[in-house]
Amino acid sequence: MDPKTGFCHKTRTYSSLWPPIPLPPINQPLSLAEYCLSVFHRTSADGATTFVVNATTGKTLSYSQFVSRVRSLAYSLQQRYSLCKNDVAFVLSPPSIHIPVVYFALLSLGIVVSPANPLSSNSEIAHQIQLCKPVVAFATSESSRKIPSLKRGTILLDSPEFLSLLTQSNMDNDVIKRVKVEQSDTAAILYSSGTTGRVKGVMMTHRNLIARMAVPHIFNTSQGEGNGKPRGSVTFLTVPLFHVFGFFILFAAVLTANSLVLVERFDFEEMLRAVEKYKVTGIPVSPPLVLAFVKSVLTSKYDLSSLTLLGSGGAPLGKEVTERFNEKFPTVELLQGYGLTESVGGATSAVGAEEAARQGSVGRLGANMEGKIVDPETGEAVAPGQRGELWLRGPIVMKGYVGDEKATAETLDSEGWLKTGDICYFDSQGFLYIVDRLKELIKYKAYQVPPAELEHLLHSHPEIADAAVIPYPDEEAGQIPMAYVVRHTGSSITETQVMDFIAKQVAPYKKVRRVAFTNTIPKSPAGKILRRELVNHSLSVGSSKL
């Protein structure tokens, strides 16, 4: 193996340059919740430490309160709702201090957690529920309207009944029936567009998530180089708890006894105010948020001196934005990382100032990980410096897509390699660079928007003969969905009407935000849309009216 890159010329694969990190024996029964809480109890004695703060309401939850509520809720779910191991619980709620309690209680009982975006449309949620087949849901009074009737009903997080579940008294250690959770059991189903097509449910095992937690240096705003930052780290959550990034950070916080600050609805100035008030040390960010830090005059209004680290993910950061950020905030490390929902969010990361200085790179492979770059045409693995599709293998790679064996087989090969769909290369020092997307997903503010889903909806409009959706570059969002539309003969449908038609059927981040009318959609002989031609056309037209 080349000690500089981790590349083995014989196998044509890359291995992590980090020393292997030991994991619990695979046959040891262990849930993610038990793993995180056991490390917490072993390393932190101060239950009075604040675990989570809702900066919108000012409500807080200490670690001792958190642990007590987790036990009480687990007991209540067993006694009142007869929930059992391998049942699925659908969670549809804005951020709140209750969500961590719900996640930990469910996982401790071997119940599968399946959180979704509360802004999703009714049809999107119906599709997710069809995939994960939940027996119970956790929601707010508002979001519960989108959930159909379930076997064990919907538990409202903003109801007195739910609060009573958190405060069961007279429980001793024998009251909660211990559940034997195997590491190979499914722990969570998170939603991703996969490599193509409609939303898919990514099945993560307890083992996947424990392996992710065990690697402290990967893409973690809660910890610094290797052994973690000093106690007292405070992370502001910009990423939702239903997203793989937020999901991971929540569990990493418990593991390291750090504090989390969340808001019910993200606002840039409210975040700055919270950084000053709560002495926030780290923030997970998407590239558009880094741009906001660079461009906003509001940053000078607040004391941001506690801030030491921004961990960027969701999409590659531009070199110019990185340089401008470093000039404006010289004492804040801006680290990039790369991962997918299918790899529990983490696969590579830059660690420390020296690696952060490699602009454009998303760092090196994390511990326990392997990678290879595969030529999409030949299927052969290629050498450093050459481009191809990134394949990943390691203990954080998902179990598969729930209810979709075909998509699983297309994404995971027989040797456990995850085909990421991203065109990448490793340089001569083992740093990974993302070049392009084989998988055609549009990255809008780090959200994944599958063009095929929007095209399917456009095709359903009676005045639209054909349509294609492509990514269009946008400084604020990274990319926006742009539709090329062929009108039916005699139709005079307008740009606004097309955008409104889609907006009524999808979550806000999936809206079509630009429309061009054309006489034909370029396609291959097999009928596949030639998106690259449309992308090139859209860029050549530029800012002129389409």
- CATH number of residue 496's parent domain: 3.30.300.30
Confidence of residue 315 (pLDDT cuts 50, 70, 90): low
pLDDT at 193: 62
Q: What would the mean pLDDT of 39-58 be, rounded to a whole number? A: 88
Q: What would the mean pLDDT of 328-332 be, rounded to a whole number? A: 95
| Between 321 and 73, the higher pLDDT residue | 73
pLDDT per residue as tens digits for the range 3-34: 899 999 999 999 999 999 999 999 999 999 99
Measured distance CA(344)–CA(186) in Å, rounded: 13
Q: Does residue 433 lie in a domain region? A: no
Q: With a cut of 90, say whether residue 508 has pLDDT above it.
A: yes
Q: Are residues 472 and 361 in the same domain?
A: no
pLDDT at 171: 62
Element (H, E) at 8: strand 7-8
Task: Rank 48-52, 174-178, 436-440 by mean pLDDT and report only the highest.
Answer: 48-52
* Three-point CA angle 313, 507, 535, nearest 5°: 65
Q: Does residue 435 lie in a domain region? A: no
Measured distance CA(154)–CA(248) in Å, rounded: 25
Are the beta carbons of 124 and 242 closer than 8 angstroms?
Answer: no
Q: With a cut of 60, say whether residue 543 has pLDDT above it.
A: no
- CA distances to 119, 340, 508 from 124, rounded to whole Å, are 10, 20, 12
Q: With a cut of 90, say whether residue 174 has pLDDT above it.
A: no
Beta bridge partners of 156: 139
Q: Does residue 90 lie in a domain region? A: yes
Sign of torsion over alpha carbons 92, 97, 98, 102: positive
Examine the fold and report which residue of 381, 399, 426 is the final residue of a domain before the chain moves on.
426
Examine the fold and report which residue of 395, 426, 457 is the final residue of a domain before the chain moves on.
426
Q: What would the mean pLDDT of 181-205 be, rounded to a whole number? A: 86
Q: What would the mean pLDDT of 385-408 be, rounded to a whole number? A: 95
Which of 149-163, 324-338, 343-357 bottoms out in mean pLDDT, i.e. has the lowest?
Answer: 343-357
Confidence of residue 423 (pLDDT cuts 50, 70, 90): confident
Q: With a cut of 70, say whether residue 175 has pLDDT above it.
A: no
Q: Does residue 2 lie in a domain region? A: no
341: tokens are 């929902």
Question: Closest Cα partner for 114 from 97, 137, 91, 133?
Answer: 91
Q: Are residues 196 and 143 in the same domain?
A: yes
Q: With a cut of 90, say whether residue 445 has pLDDT above it.
A: no
Between strands 400-401 and 200-205, the pairing is: antiparallel
Q: Does residue 436 lie in a domain region? A: no
Q: How many structural domains is the chain composed of? A: 2
Quick one: angle between helices 98-108 and 63-79, nearest 10? 50
Confidence of residue 198 (pLDDT cuts 50, 70, 90): confident
Q: With a cut of 60, say whether residue 230 has pLDDT above it.
A: no
Q: Does residue 494 lie in a domain region? A: yes
The CATH number of whichever domain residue 105 belongs to comes to 3.40.50.12780
Q: Are residues 453 and 367 in the same domain?
A: no
Q: Are residues 526 and 382 in the same domain?
A: no
Q: Are residues 475 and 413 in the same domain?
A: no
Q: What would the mean pLDDT of 381-392 be, rounded to a whole number? A: 94
Place of tokens 């959609």: 521
Element (H, E) at 283: strand 282-285
Q: Are residues 23 and 125 in the same domain?
A: yes
Sign of torsion over alpha carbons 350, 316, 207, 36: positive
Q: What is the mean pLDDT of the chain?
A: 88
Q: Are residues 449 and 401 in the same domain?
A: no
Residue type for position 300: S
Q: Are residues 123 and 41 in the same domain?
A: yes
Contacts of 215 (CB under 8 A, 6+ apart): 18, 21, 346, 366, 367, 368, 396
Confidence of residue 527 (pLDDT cuts 50, 70, 90): low
Q: Are residues 506 and 471 in the same domain?
A: yes
Q: Are residues 419 and 537 in the same domain?
A: no
Q: Are residues 345 and 449 in the same domain?
A: no
Q: Does residue 483 lie in a domain region? A: yes
Confidence of residue 173 (pLDDT cuts 50, 70, 90): low
Range of the domain at 528: 442-541
Q: Does residue 234 lie in a domain region? A: yes
Q: Are residues 233 and 373 in the same domain?
A: yes
Q: What would the mean pLDDT of 417-444 be, rounded to a whole number? A: 86
Are the beta carbons of 55 and 270 closer than 8 angstroms?
Answer: yes
Confidence of residue 172 (pLDDT cuts 50, 70, 90): low
Are the beta carbons of 64 and 47 closer than 8 angstroms?
Answer: yes
Quick one: angle between helices 32-43 and 98-108, nearest 10? 110
Examine the fold and report which residue of 393, 426, 459 is the final residue of a domain before the chain moves on.
426
With left for phi above 0 and alpha for psi between -120 and 50, is residue 76 left, alpha or beta?
Answer: alpha
Residue type for position 81: Y
Q: What would the mean pLDDT of 227-241 be, rounded to a whole number? A: 74
291: tokens are 């741009």
